[in-house]
Amino acid sequence: MTEQFPALIVVAPLVAALLVPLTARLSLAVTYCLILVSLMVSLTGALSALRYSLVEGAWHYYFGGWPPPWGIEYVVDPLAGIITSLVGLFGILVFFYSIPFLAGKEPREKGYFYSLYLLLLAGLLGIVATGDVFNLYVFLEISSLAAYALIAFGGHQGVVAGFRYLLVGTAAGTLYLLGVGYTYAVTGSLNMADLGNLLASLQSSRPVILAVALIVTGLGIKMALFPLYGWLPDAYSLSPPGVAPLIAGVMGKVSAYALYRLLYFVFKPGGPVLQVLDVVGWLAAAGIIVGSVMAIAQKEFGRMLAYSSVSQMGYIALGIAIGNAAALTGTLLHIFSHAVAKGCLFMVAGNGSWWGRRKISEMAGMSKAMPLTSATLVVASLSMVGLPPTAGFFSKWYLLMGAVEKGSWIYAVILVISSLLTAIYFFRVLEHVYLKKDPGASLGTPAEEGRSLRGWELAPSMLVPTLLLGLGILALGLFNAPFVDGLLKFSLPWRTW
């Protein structure tokens, strides 16, 4: 069975998703076992594919036995390996985290919910593992459709947010498809590696430049690049707290990964493509500042985190735009550090809303009621601001090095300013959590019946994932040197080892 691992990464959650609506009507225990087993298989596949790719090089898997460019292939190289491992790990943690939030729902509703959850996960994993640009579109649509529905599950406001995301997201998918169409028109191929070879001689052809612009716009919408982020604050903050960590934590990062892969492994910057990258860089810089400023203005914790995501996705896009080894390392490291930190913060926000408090001003006294959650919040905030020894510091450091190395001082200045702005809004939250007195009874008790804080502040299935992600931030920071040297170095478009 081991030779099937690259396919199983995606197919295991996919197959489980097809059965979950049926089994949920019969037995919830069986359903949860099924979900857990499929997620474990997926994670095992991702980890072993990662190990294989580090030893033997990229693992190519041909669907239907047809060699590319005629068939579809999966390519798991070290980069795809670590990102699939990250997504798989998130899948397991957020699955546990979401269980208490669904406690009051009907079994069949749980079945539909987890079916969509697994489909979202399978879509994200498929985007990462695939080596075919059209297959990427199909899985992009699977993950997007599942995400629209999950966001719309978050109440009446959630439906509006989900519908607006559906309009924008589908338009983004269509733009991406049109970009694929232009490259297909001038090359006749859909396989990434094949396209990379064919496009080398077409760098300055107009359809290729338009294709790059269309693909950057499409994936830019999905990863909320500066002027195209309008859907994000509502979608992230109004989605049900059970899945918000997954949606906010990895969905945008997977699009960023796809953009990185397409730009650096397929279109290979040179000539006019570099000008597109320049535009991306300026937009990203604007997004960093605008996102931070908007985050300062927010009263609700979830919305503040959502705007902070706009700013943080700007870092990732900026690294892609700068495009030297240090900046790309920073981008990849930031994909990880931000995914873990933002997932962790949305779990903290979810714990807060479990307690009935969504606004920042209501979070006073959290340090007493939820000491462990508050401690995690401190760690995650430090990472977002970029203080050592957390992961955020090192990714920003690499980005700064990249900007300086390229001589773009403006980018460097923006990186520093934005850290200060981030510090402003996160320390405001910490001030409320640790220094302000709990206004107590005036706020009323937990939002819904059956939700109370017990001895261990929360149910373990909520608390443990939060703490694990908090530890992950620290671990990623402390062991960042082996992480970069052992894994990320092999993910750069040029051989640097």
Partner 1 sequence: MDAIAGHLNYWLIAVLFVVGVYGLAFQDNLLKKLMALNVISVSTIAFFLNLGQKVGAKAPILPGGVKGGEAAAYANPLPHTLMLTAIVVGVATTGVGLAMIYRIFKHYHTLEESEILKGMRE
Partner 2 sequence: MNKSRPTTILDTCVRLIIPFYLVYAIYVLVHGHYSPGGGFQAGVVLAVSVILVQLVQDPNPRWGLGRDAAVVFACLGTFMYAGIGLLTMAWGGNMLDYGVLPLGEVEAEVRALGTLGIEIGVTMAVMGVFVVIFNLLRGEE
Partner 3 sequence: MTRKLGYLSLVLLAALFIYVSLDLPPTGDPHSPPATHVSPRYIEKAYKETGAANMVTAVLADYRGYDTLGETVVVFTAGVATLLLLEGAFKFKKR
Closer by beta carbon to partner 3, 66 or else 456: 66
Residue among 9, 11, 326, 380 that touches partner 2 (CB under 8 A): 11
The least distance separating partner 3 from the CB of residue 1, rounded to whole angstroms, comes to 19
Joined tokens for residue 209: 């430049």
Q: How far is the CB of 7 from partner 2 (least distance, A)?
A: 5
Q: Which residues pair with 191 in a beta bridge?
A: 132
Compute CA distances 42 → 8, 9, 406, whole Å: 6, 4, 40
Give exposure, 33-47, as e/b (b: 16+ Cβ within 10 Å). Answer: ebbeebbebbbbbbb
Alpha carbons 318 and 397: distance in angstroms, whole number: 13
The answer to the question of residue 14 lying near partner 2 (CB under 8 A) is yes
Strands (E), 27-66: 59-62
Residue 282 touching partner 2 (CB under 8 A): no
Smallest distance from partner 3 to CB 14, Å: 6
What is the distance between the alpha carbons of residues 313 and 316, in angstroms, rounded to a whole number? 5
- Where does this chain bind partner 1 (CB under 8 A)? 134, 138, 141, 145, 148-149, 152, 156-157, 159-160, 162-163, 166-167, 170-171, 173-174, 177-178, 181, 184-185, 190
- CB closer to partner 1 out of 103 and 171: 171
Smallest gap from residue 86 Cβ to partner 2 (A): 23
Instruction: Please report how close the Cβ of residue 66 comes to partner 2 at its closest, in angstroms.
Output: 8
Longest Cα pair distance anywhere in the chain, in angstroms?
Answer: 70
Tokens linked to 379: 């760690």
Contact flag: residue 18 with partner 2 (CB under 8 A):
yes
d(CA 468, CA 417) in angstroms, rounded, equals 30
Distance CA 479, CA 485 (A): 10
Residue 471 near which of partner 1, partner 2, partner 3, none (CB within 5-8 Å, type-dependent) = none
- According to the binding rule CB under 8 A, does residue 21 interact with partner 2? yes
Residue span binding partner 2 (CB under 8 A) among the ranges 11-19, 254-262, 442-450, 469-477 = 11-19
As a whole number of angstroms, the distance between CA 350 and CA 246 comes to 12
Residue recorded with tokens 């997926």: 42
CB of 150 to partner 3, least distance (A): 8
Query: Would you say 231 or 490 has its CB closer to partner 3?
Result: 231
Q: Enumerate residues 332-361 that contact partner 2 by CB under 8 A.
A: none
- For residue 156, the minimal CB distance to partner 1 (Å) is 5
Structure tokens at 270: 């040179």
Tally of CB atoms within 10 A around 253: 27
Which lies closer to partner 1 via its Cβ, residue 4 or residue 157? 157
Residues 49-68 that bind partner 2 (CB under 8 A): 61-65
The rounded distance, in Å, linking the Cα atoms of 109 and 249 is 24
Rounded to the nearest 10 degrees, what angle do helices 460-478 and 391-406 cross at? 40
How many Å is the Cα radius of gyration of the chain?
A: 22
3-state secondary structure of 265: helix
Binding region for partner 3 (CB under 8 A)? 14, 17-18, 21, 63-64, 66, 69-72, 105-106, 108-109, 112-113, 115-116, 119, 122, 126, 134-135, 138-139, 141-142, 145-146, 148-149, 152-153, 159, 182, 184-190, 198, 205-207, 210
Minimum separation from the CB atom of position 191 to partner 3 (A)? 8
Q: Does 7 bind partner 2 (CB under 8 A)?
A: yes
Nearer to partner 2, 70 or 427 (CB): 70
Q: Which is nearer to partner 2, 7 or 325 (CB)?
A: 7
Alpha-carbon gap, residue 321 to 4, rounded angstroms: 36
Binding site partner of 139, from partner 2, partner 1, partner 3, none, Cβ cut-off 5-8 A by kind = partner 3
Distances (CA, A) of 229 to 136, 283, 286, 306: 22, 11, 12, 10
DSSP 182: H
- Residue 167 touches which member of partner 2, partner 1, partner 3, none, C-beta under 5-8 Å by kind: partner 1
User: Which residue's CB is nearer to partner 3, number 139 or number 267?
Assistant: 139
Residue closer to partner 1 (CB basis): 214 or 363: 214
CA atoms of 213 and 441, how far apart (whole Å): 54
Residue 291 interface partner, choices partner 3, partner 1, partner 2, none, CB cut-off 5-8 Å depending on type: none
| 177 interface partner picked from partner 1, partner 2, partner 3, none, CB below 5 to 8 A per type | partner 1
Sign of the CA dihedral running 308, 309, 310, 314: positive
Closest CA relative to residue 440, chosen from 352, 362, 359: 362
Per CB under 8 A, residues contacting partner 2 are 1, 4, 7, 11, 14-15, 18-19, 21-22, 61-65
